Amino acid sequence: MPINTTANQIKALTLFLWVAFCLATPVNSSAEDWKFSESSAEESAVLKQNLKRQFADDEVTDNIEERYQSDDEPVNWRNKDKEFDPAIIDWERDEDLQRLSPIVEDAEKNVELIGTGGNPYASDISDGKMPDKLNIWWDREVLSQMGRNTVPNRETPESLILRAMEHSSQIKVFSDVPIIRETAELEAVGEFDPIAYSEYRMTDLDEPVGSTLKTGGPERFFEDEWLFRAGIRKKFVTGTEIDLSQRWGVLDNNSEFLVPKDQGNAKIAITLTQPLINGAGIRYNRSLIDVAQLDGSIARDEFKRQVESHLLELVRSYWGLYLERATLTQRRALVRRTQKIADTLEARSGYDVSEVQAQRVRSEVLVRKSDVVRAESAVRNAEARIVSLINDPEFSMRDTFELLPETTPITAASTVTHDMALALALANRPEIDQAFKQARASAIRVKMTRNELRPVLNFVLGYARDGLAGEGDYNQAFENEFDLGDGSWIAGLVFEMPLGNRVAKSRLERRQAEARQLAYQLKTTVDTVLLEVQVSVREIHTSYREMHAKYTAMQALVAEVDSLEQRQGVELVDGNSGGRYLERLLDAQDRLTESEHEFLKSMTTYNVALVNLDRATGMFMQTNDIQPRYFDDIDPYIDGLPTYELEKVSSSQ
């Protein structure tokens, strides 16, 4: 065997081994300096390490873990495994994220300084404790059927949440946000999909001859040619691009120099292009995938935030319904009291009761009945609000529909402290997770732009084999590709560099400004979350103290009204003081009803504050044992598309 033939075979073997290596390199492989976590459990651990270090051994943390036992086992957003999870911030290895460390440290210091969050302006006006058994007479009627000929539907906040999880159109809107964003991940991976291409062309030339060397004599040049070319082209995660193609063709013309006539030809060629500077490496070429996966993770955080806000509004509406039904009960009771006085005066009219007194009471009855009309409408509006938030087909605002609350307000004192709530918020609020991931994506974009500042230097390597045959036999030409000759080689470098490079420089400056902006945005987000948590905790303690004060005032007015009503038979017939007594009695009834209403509002405010704290700490879904689940199967409304759905899980799960 000739030496040059052996050398060419070695070259060909080397090239195809390189191609095989590139084909074996998976898109999801990563360089050693481009590591990310492989599970959401690691993500939770790193976030806690960076955001709650000073709480690691505190008694506060023990209380948190005891209340939320799933805190160390965060929600698994998708029921399918991923090899790549870019949500973790590698503080030590990522220089672009080092600027975020002071923000985390400041947040930790603020939590430590806030401590339990005592209020220096708090007085001891209402530092007492609510009694274990309250005199709340309206609970029985609120939980009972009020409408005539209605079908009662008894619900609790938990049952309404379950209905909303299954039927709410708004939650379905929210659930499509991560589905839409996650398509960008597949789109980014698709950049490395192989591309098949083909070309078919026919040429019929008839042109004058300007040189006898073209035809060897004839004054016009006639040529017929057809060719077919097919191939496959693929880009790899290393930046390498390989193009493999095969061509078949037939060529015939009137030139004396075409030998043989009516040629059949074939050519197979493979070309490898490897960026050496700009666009080189796994780190750069994976960047769009990394950013897309971060955007998908951000979208899942946004889904959680939106769902918590929607369900919080639903629970608020539940307590709003309780408030309106209790208000209606109180107004109706006030009308009954007033009507009772009116009936008493009417029975004694003409004896020892003046017409002025009777008329005064009748007018008061009408005024108080008008308040009942407004309260009845408010109940109906509260029911409609809940129905609109749930979209359950079983609930419709027909005339026979009545929604009954089955849970009464909580009046027990909460022992939550600021440091406990702030630690939970820093570890669980989706807004903070979003801000960190946005900063991470921005750091990746900065790295991409820095790479694009460099000049283009590509290594190009090609190998081709040609075959030729007469009588238009392109099949024989295809066989001759491998039987004759040693093939052709090409190797070289392609260099390109914009002078001034203003496009890449301006793009880098923009990306760096965006990264700085997102760092400020992270600090703003953390500060906002800390503020919301402080306000939420303070509102719990304030509303409890207010509830206690309102209850004490209500009990005093109950005693006053009872005392006045016991003297009703004597005072009303007193010609001198009967009018003054009647005014005092009616006024006391008004003040009592208003006091009952104020206590009722403080009770519902306290219960709403308790729920709002769960949302402020990012624990609303975990407290209610709710987690999103990803489904690949067919959605009943949109065939073939994946969906995110909320499901109730047990505490053990």
Three-state DSSP at 137 gives coil
pLDDT digits (tens, 9 = 90+) for 393-403: 998 888 889 99
- 322 part of a folded domain: yes
- 621 part of a folded domain: no
**The pairing of beta strand 151-155 with beta strand 401-405:** parallel
Amino acid in position 233: R
Say which DSSP state 147 is in.
Answer: S
Both 183 and 201 in one domain: the answer is no
pLDDT digits (tens, 9 = 90+) for 106-115: 776 666 666 5
pLDDT digits (tens, 9 = 90+) for 182-212: 999 999 999 999 999 999 999 999 899 888 8
Both 342 and 352 in one domain: the answer is yes
- 24 part of a folded domain: no
Three-state DSSP at 418 gives helix
Both 527 and 472 in one domain: the answer is no
- 124 part of a folded domain: no
Q: For the chain, how many structural domains are there in total?
A: 2
pLDDT digits (tens, 9 = 90+) for 54-66: 333 333 333 333 4
Evaluate if residue 46 carries a pLDDT over 70.
Answer: no
Q: Could you give the C-alpha distances from 92 to 29, 488, 636, in angstroms and in order?
A: 21, 50, 47
What is the pLDDT confidence band of residue 116, given thresholds at 50, 70 and 90?
A: low
**Tokens in use for 234?**
């693929």
Domain around 508: 31-69+90-115+135-188+283-453+503-613
pLDDT digits (tens, 9 = 90+) for 156-182: 999 999 999 999 999 999 999 999 999
What phi and psi, each to the nearest 5 degrees, are found at residue 198?
-150, 160
Among 30-39, 387-396, 522-531, 547-556, which stretch is predicted with the lowest mean pLDDT?
A: 30-39
Q: Which residue, 456, 453, 455, 454, is CA-closest to 506?
A: 453
Among 65-79, 278-292, 323-337, 459-473, which stretch is predicted with the lowest mean pLDDT?
A: 65-79
Per-residue confidence (pLDDT) for residue 621, from 0 to 100:
92
- 483 part of a folded domain: yes
Q: Please give the Cα distance from 94 to 443 (Å, whole number).
A: 8
What is the pLDDT confidence band of residue 38, given thresholds at 50, 70 and 90?
A: very low
Evaluate if residue 9 carries a pLDDT over 80.
Answer: no
Among 127-131, 265-269, 304-308, 493-497, which stretch is predicted with the lowest mean pLDDT?
A: 127-131
- Looking at 502, 524, 540, the residue that finishes a domain is 502
Per-residue confidence (pLDDT) for residue 7, from 0 to 100:
54
Q: Please give the Cα distance from 348 to 208 (Å, whole number).
A: 130
Per-residue confidence (pLDDT) for residue 570, from 0 to 100:
61
Per-residue confidence (pLDDT) for residue 377, from 0 to 100:
94
Three-state DSSP at 573 gives coil
**Domain CATH for 515:** 1.20.1600.10
Both 297 and 238 in one domain: the answer is no
Q: For the chain, how big is the Rg over CA atoms in Å? A: 40
Give the CA count within 13 Å in the CB-facing half-sphere of 174.
23
Evaluate if residue 361 carries a pLDDT over 70.
Answer: yes
Evaluate if residue 440 carries a pLDDT over 50.
Answer: yes
- 385 part of a folded domain: yes
Burial degree of 639 (CB within 10 A; 0-12, 13-18, 19+): exposed
Both 560 and 607 in one domain: the answer is yes
Q: Could you identify the residue written with the tokens 């769902």?
A: 307
Q: Please give the Cα distance from 92 to 52 (Å, whole number).
A: 18
- 589 part of a folded domain: yes
Both 534 and 495 in one domain: the answer is no
pLDDT digits (tens, 9 = 90+) for 236-251: 999 999 999 999 999 9
Evaluate if residue 526 carries a pLDDT over 70.
Answer: yes
Per-residue confidence (pLDDT) for residue 122, from 0 to 100:
56
367: number of Cβ within 10 Å: 11
Both 524 and 602 in one domain: the answer is yes
Per-residue confidence (pLDDT) for residue 113, from 0 to 100:
61
Both 465 and 536 in one domain: the answer is no
| Beta bridge partner(s), residue 309 | none
Average model confidence (pLDDT) for the chain? 81
Both 144 and 210 in one domain: the answer is no
Per-residue confidence (pLDDT) for residue 603, from 0 to 100:
95
Do 277 and 239 meet the contact criterion of CB atoms below 8 Å apart?
no
Evaluate if residue 23 carries a pLDDT over 80.
Answer: no
Q: Please give the Cα distance from 585 to 572 (Å, whole number).
A: 10
Both 515 and 573 in one domain: the answer is yes
State mean pLDDT over 274-299.
Answer: 93
Both 181 and 212 in one domain: the answer is no
**Tokens in use for 254?**
């009137």
Per-residue confidence (pLDDT) for residue 345, from 0 to 100:
78
- Percent of the chain whose predicted confidence (pLDDT) is above 70: 77
Evaluate if residue 495 carries a pLDDT over 90.
Answer: yes
Do 207 and 227 meet the contact criterion of CB atoms below 8 Å apart?
no
Per-residue confidence (pLDDT) for residue 73, from 0 to 100:
37
- Looking at 502, 522, 538, the residue that finishes a domain is 502
Both 141 and 109 in one domain: the answer is yes
Q: Which residue, 122, 156, 67, is CA-closest to 544?
A: 122
- 576 part of a folded domain: yes
Say which DSSP state 100 is in.
Answer: G
